[in-house]
Amino acid sequence: MMRFPGILIAVLLALGISGKASAAASVEEEARTVVHMLEYVGVDYPAFVKNGQVLDTAEYAEQQEFALQCLSILKQLPLVDAAPDLVAHAQKLQERIGAKADGLEIAALANALRQEVIVAYKVAVAPRKKPELGTAVALYDAHCASCHGATGGGDGPQAASLDPAPRNFLDTAAMDVRSPFGLYNTITLGVAGTSMLPFTGLTEEERWALAFHVADLRVPADELQRGEVLWKNGVGKEDFPNLTAVVTTTPEEAVKKGGADLAAVLAWLTAHPEALGNNGPSPLNLTRDRLAQALDAYKAGQPEEARRLSISAYLEGFELIETALDNVDAPLRKQTEREMMALRSQISAKAPADSVAASIGRINGLLEQADDKLSGGGLTGTAAFLGSLIILLREGLEAILVLAAILAFVLKTGRRDALKYVHAGWIGAVVLGVLTWVLASYVLTITGANRELTEGITALLAAAMLLYVGWWLHNKSNTRAWHRYIKDKVGGALGSQTLWVLAGISFLAVYRELFEIILFYETLLDQVGPQGHTAVWGGVVAAATLLVIIGWAILKYSVKLPIGPFFAVTALLLAFMAVVFAGNGIAALQEAGVFEATFVRFITVPVLGIHPTVQGLVTQACVLALVLGVVVWGRMRMARVAAQ
Ligand code: HEC
């Protein structure tokens, strides 16, 4: 028991942060390289091979080399379920390049394959955070101007001695076929065989900022202004729903799709990515994508993969906007959630593909409605405030109840030395929670399933510890027993084991939800946009105040109770919280897909940990039975003692 917290932290880190992250990143990096090379082929090949004529043999050889490289990397990458035959497509591309096929044909093949690879290996094509362009000018001056020139003209002091010459960013013909994603790739990977080296010393965010910056260098200010006016009048809203769309579109493609106006909008969005409502795919789009992938996997005879994807569709997407949706249409939220759970049961039960498809169709319909509800002028100030208030109040209430009960106990027994254990517990949880979040945002990807797994296991551990302390308190709840206890253990009233349990509970009660709370707020802040931030922070302050008042009231009034009832009440509160934690812990593990969820007709009351599944209810009933058993047994024993 003594070493428990240390072990616990190790376990939590291992659970929360998947060791697979680095392996996954390297596959993604390889795929990204393929994407990058295909982009080059798509753009450059048509310039060097026209009507079966090779115009530049060196360049042509390079294209052949790229095609060969793509093929060999794709052969090595792990096979992806339900992906088109990427190797066959790469082979075809290589053969057609060998046959000096026409530029347009090769460009089409290369672009199609590029898209397939992006989808199959889930290559992240958008920055994780909207780039801060404020830093880009200084970065450019420090790292790029010496070659590319102060204004981007390709005429920096070093340029004259370089062959090939640095790219002229003011050259419209060349830059029109570059997307910010393509530029980002060049900055990240460099151009082999030239003085353009990979800028791996810069952070991902800095490289993105530079990509956005150089993409717009040639665009005159009045064109940007024109783009801004157009965007604010609604032009491009459908073409550029998110950052991904912006970074993968070249100006040339924009012109093809929507004329010079759309290109102006693209240029403006590239200069002002903060104008986009969502960072990367919105949670709902992500849910749609994952559901579509789940259906593909299911049809391809991979129910396990389909199940995993359907879980992730919920956890990485929909769950993050639940609170916001609750504020505008709670029944819609509940219905969507139910449908998504039903989908998982269908997949587990190996239902026919048609009915799985129908189920996904229904969910998509509901998501559509949710989109409408949420985008209706964005969240109003009141909705943002309420959403924020509810998140913290809902997630924080359990923690405050537990902390208050434990603090009351410590104060009541006059064991102020135990206070520091309790405080160390929750402060440690806050620190570790923030640390987990930082790791999750900047270093590793923590999947929704891992999040729920951590939450579930910590909840069950907390439930077990609460039962232990509750039982211990209960045993002391008759005054005589308590006096004997104090007499027996003067000076060491709380054994070190109990102190650690107190610290552990205080840690678990707070750590459990913290990471998720931060994530909820991140999404909420993103949803409301900068003008709603004040409302969100207002909600945080209001909720925190309420929580402190609740905790304070419990402390104040419970400490006034005479010692017997005090222990009885505290023990009861802790036992009650154990039942709540057990229910919520099982629910989290069901969301993570560890346990099956067998739904029954019953009420849903998350604050009491009640979720209508057989597994959750049975667990809660067992904990309740245990508590009642201990109480009854205690009574009987006391009656026996009294009778003697
Ligand atoms: C030592 C000189 C040098 C420095 C410093 C340098 N570059 Fe380059 N860069 C080049 C050369 C040379 C090329 C052309 C390579 C080619 O022709 O394929 C190039 C090409 C590029 C391209 C490719 C454009 C395209 O058509 O795809 C981008 C983007 C780019 N550089 C961005 C940057 C950025 C951003 C920086 C600063 C972080 C930078 N470069 C620093 C020499 C340099």
Report the pLDDT averaged over residues 360-371.
Answer: 87
pLDDT, tens only, 174-233: 899 888 988 988 888 788 788 988 887 887 788 999 999 999 999 999 999 999 989 888
Report the pLDDT averaged over residues 153-181.
Answer: 91
Q: Which is higher by pLDDT, 286 or 479?
A: 286
> What integer pLDDT is reported at residue 193 of this predicted model?
80
Cα of 586 vs centre of ligand 1, distance in Å, is: 54
Nearest CA to ligand 1 atom 29: 183
Burial class (CB within 10 angstroms; exposed 0-12, middle 13-18, buried 19+) of 160: exposed
> What integer pLDDT is reported at residue 601 of this predicted model?
76
**Which amino acid, residue 475?**
N
Query: What's the mean per-residue pLDDT of the chain?
Result: 80
pLDDT at residue 516 greater than cutoff 70: yes
Choose the weakest-confidence range: 182-191, 375-384, 612-621: 375-384
For the ranges 186-195, 212-221, 397-406, 449-458, the maximum mean pLDDT occurs at 212-221
Share of the chain above pLDDT 70, in %: 86
> What integer pLDDT is reported at residue 264 of this predicted model?
95
Choose the weakest-confidence range: 102-106, 405-409, 638-642: 638-642
> What integer pLDDT is reported at residue 281 of this predicted model?
56
pLDDT at residue 427 greater than cutoff 70: yes
Nearest CA to ligand 1 atom 12: 166
**Which CB contacts under 8 angstroms, 24+ apart, belong to 187-196?**
187/211, 189/33, 189/36, 194/162, 194/164, 195/147, 195/158, 195/162, 195/166, 196/147, 196/166, 196/167
Please give the Cα distance from 59 to 53 (Å, whole number). Answer: 13
The count of other CB atoms within 10 Å of the CB of residue 531 is: 10
Contact 402, 463 (CB under 8 A): no
Task: Name all residues whose Cβ lies below 6 A of ligand 1.
Answer: 143-144, 146-148, 158, 162, 164, 166-167, 174, 178, 183, 186-187, 191, 194-196, 199, 210, 214
Placement of tokens 């939590």 in the chain: 12
Report the pLDDT averaged over residues 631-635.
Answer: 78
> What integer pLDDT is reported at residue 485 of this predicted model?
56
pLDDT at residue 324 greater than cutoff 80: no
> What integer pLDDT is reported at residue 484 of this predicted model?
59
Q: Which is higher by pLDDT, 453 or 45?
A: 45
Could you tell which of 139, 140, 143, 167 is best to mutate to test the pocket of ligand 1, judged by most ligand atoms within 8 Å of the CB?
167
Q: Which atom of ligand 1 is nearest to the CA of 140?
A: 37
Cα of 474 vs centre of ligand 1, distance in Å, is: 72
Q: Which is higher by pLDDT, 297 or 493?
A: 297
Considering only CA atoms, which of 250, 275, 273, 281 is closest in space to residue 131? 273
Contact 209, 86 (CB under 8 A): no
Q: Which atom of ligand 1 is nearest to the CA of 146?
A: 5
> Could you tell me the pLDDT band of residue 395, with boundaries at 50, 70 and 90?
confident
> Could you tell me the pLDDT band of residue 444, with boundaries at 50, 70 and 90?
low
Cα of 162 vs centre of ligand 1, distance in Å, is: 11
pLDDT at residue 12 greater than cutoff 50: no
> Could you tell me the pLDDT band of residue 643, with boundaries at 50, 70 and 90?
low
Please give the Cα distance from 431 to 162 (Å, whole number). Answer: 51
Report residue 606 as tokens.
């998350």
Nearest CA to ligand 1 atom 40: 144
Q: How many residues does the chain have?
A: 644
Q: Which is higher by pLDDT, 623 or 282?
A: 623
| Distance in Å from the first CA to the final CA of the chain | 37
> What integer pLDDT is reported at residue 644 of this predicted model?
63
Report residue 612 as tokens.
């209508």
Report residue 529 as tokens.
């946009």
Nearest CA to ligand 1 atom 41: 144
Choose the weakest-confidence range: 225-239, 247-261, 442-456: 442-456
Choose the weakest-confidence range: 242-256, 457-471, 483-497: 483-497
> What integer pLDDT is reported at residue 128 of this predicted model?
65
Q: Which atom of ligand 1 is nearest to the CA of 174?
A: 26
> Could you tell me the pLDDT band of residue 548, with boundaries at 50, 70 and 90?
very high
Nearest CA to ligand 1 atom 13: 166
**Which CB contacts under 8 angstroms, 24+ apart, belong to 525-529?**
526/277, 526/278, 526/279, 527/277, 527/321, 527/324, 527/374, 527/378, 527/379, 528/378, 528/379, 528/384, 529/277, 529/378
Could you tell which of 196, 200, 207 is best to mutate to test the pocket of ligand 1, judged by most ligand atoms within 8 Å of the CB?
196
> What integer pLDDT is reported at residue 549 of this predicted model?
93
Cα of 250 vs centre of ligand 1, distance in Å, is: 18
Cα of 140 vs centre of ligand 1, distance in Å, is: 11
Nearest CA to ligand 1 atom 21: 167
Cα of 182 vs centre of ligand 1, distance in Å, is: 12
Tell me the chain's radius of gyration from C-alpha atoms: 30
For the ranges 211-220, 277-286, 564-573, the maximum mean pLDDT occurs at 211-220
Report residue 57 as tokens.
């043999």
Determine if residue 280 is left, alpha or beta; phi over 0 gives left, psi from -120 to 50 gives alpha, anything else beta.
left
Cα of 167 vs centre of ligand 1, distance in Å, is: 6
> What integer pLDDT is reported at residue 293 of this predicted model?
87
Largest CA distance in the chain: 110
Cα of 135 vs centre of ligand 1, distance in Å, is: 19
pLDDT at residue 306 greater than cutoff 60: yes
Contact 336, 324 (CB under 8 A): no
> Could you tell me the pLDDT band of residue 34, with boundaries at 50, 70 and 90?
confident
Cα of 573 vs centre of ligand 1, distance in Å, is: 65
Report the pLDDT averaged over residues 530-553.
Answer: 88
Report the pLDDT averaged over residues 527-533.
Answer: 72
Choose the weakest-confidence range: 12-16, 338-342, 395-399: 12-16
Cα of 44 vs centre of ligand 1, distance in Å, is: 16
Cα of 148 vs centre of ligand 1, distance in Å, is: 7
Nearest CA to ligand 1 atom 37: 144
